[in-house]
Chains A and B, each alone.
Chain A
Amino acid sequence: MLQTESPLGAVATLASGLLFGFGLAWSTMIRPESVLDFLTFDDLGLLFVLGSAVGINLLAYQLVPRLFGRTLLGTAFQERPFELDRQALLGGVLFGVGWGLCGVCPGPALAGLGAGNADLLIALAGIFAGALLHGLWAGRQVPVTA
Chain B
Amino acid sequence: MPVTLFPHGIAHYALGGTLMGLGVALLYVTTGRPGGVSTFFSSSWSWLLRSPFFRQGAFLESRHWRLVYALGLVLGGGLFLLAGQTVEASHIPAWKLALGGVLIGFGARLGGGCTSGHGICGMASLSAASFVMVITFLGTGIVTASVLKWLGV
Contact = CB atoms under 8 A, between A and B. Distances in A.
B is a partner of A: yes
Interface of A: 1-3, 5, 8-10, 12-33, 36, 39-62, 64, 71-73, 75-84, 87-107, 109-117, 119-120, 122-136, 138-139, 143-146
Given A20-B19, A55-B21, 12 more contacts: A17-B27, A17-B69, A32-B90, A45-B6, A48-B14, A58-B126, A60-B29, A82-B122, A95-B140, A99-B115, A100-B145, A130-B41
6 contacts: A14-B69, A22-B79, A28-B87, A39-B146, A96-B139, A112-B77
Query: Which 9 pairs of residues, A with B, have the shortest CB-CB distance?
Result: A126-B101, A17-B72, A21-B76, A130-B105, A27-B16, A91-B111, A114-B77, A100-B144, A98-B103
Contact of B73 (A27, A107, A119, A134): A107
B65 A125 contact: no
Interface string B52-81: 111111101100110011111111111111
Interface of B: 2, 5-10, 12-38, 40-42, 44-45, 49, 51-58, 60-61, 64-65, 68-81, 85, 87-88, 90-92, 94, 96-130, 132-133, 136-146, 148-149
A5 B30 CA distance: 12
Contact of B80 (A22, A50, A77, A136): A22
Contacts of A39: 141-142, 144-146
Contacts of A104: 92, 97, 100-101, 104
